[in-house]
Amino acid sequence: MRRSQTDVSPDILTTYFNNILPLSAEEVAWVAASFHARLYRKKQYVLQEGDSCLHFNFVVRGCLRLYKIDEKGAIHTLQFAPENHWISDLGSFHGLKPTALSIDALEDTVVLQITRDELVRLYEKSVRLNRIFRVLVENAFINLQERLLHNISSTAEHRYQAFLDRYPELSARLSQVQIASYLGVTPEFLSRLRNQKAKQGSDNS
């Protein structure tokens, strides 16, 4: 029998969490019962502007994007989430308020997702899981600070290198337009950056 695309072993999350803080067998069972697999097709919305964010998502396969569309229709990408990354609008998720952001699937994407109520129950049951998610949010905040610093003080070349360092697997999977929206440059400027980088690589080889 052909396996469903959402047949996801909870061991994926167990392994991920154990790398932060080892879980007990009981905690592993709680995680398995609290997270639910879901498939989003390419271009499908996970979250739309104006809705409330209901899930915290862990990407098993594929890639999601968190972004804002401005009044001129331009897309400003805040985050990509490929495999083993988390994505959500945390302000909307925890505040139960409408979001100004959107999340969509750049590829067919399978996630393990948890609701706010289920996550709060995990916090109440387990000090270790509470601590793990605190670490995840702290890391997300650190990454956001670094991204803001890059945006206000780094050249486009340095921002592109930071993108390659943070998402090494995505350069060949995403379109030039998608990467440019993350860097805050035009696709044409990104093309020149890539050509320049490729030329420097060939000159140094």
Ranges of the chain with pLDDT below 50: 1-3
The residue among 70, 75, 35, 71 whose CA lies nearest residue 179 is: 75
Torsion of CA 162, 110, 139, 98, to 10 degrees: 100
Domain ranges of the chain: 11-153, 155-205
Q: Which fold has domain 11-153?
A: Jelly Rolls (2.60.120)
Instruction: Please give the C-alpha separations between residue 23 and each of 86, 120, 191, in angstroms, as whole numbers.
Output: 19, 17, 46
Q: Give residue 159's pLDDT.
A: 94
Q: Give residue 1's pLDDT.
A: 35
In angstroms, rounded to a whole number, what is the distance separating the alpha carbons of residues 143 and 56? 17
Q: Give residue 2's pLDDT.
A: 39
Q: Give residue 204's pLDDT.
A: 64
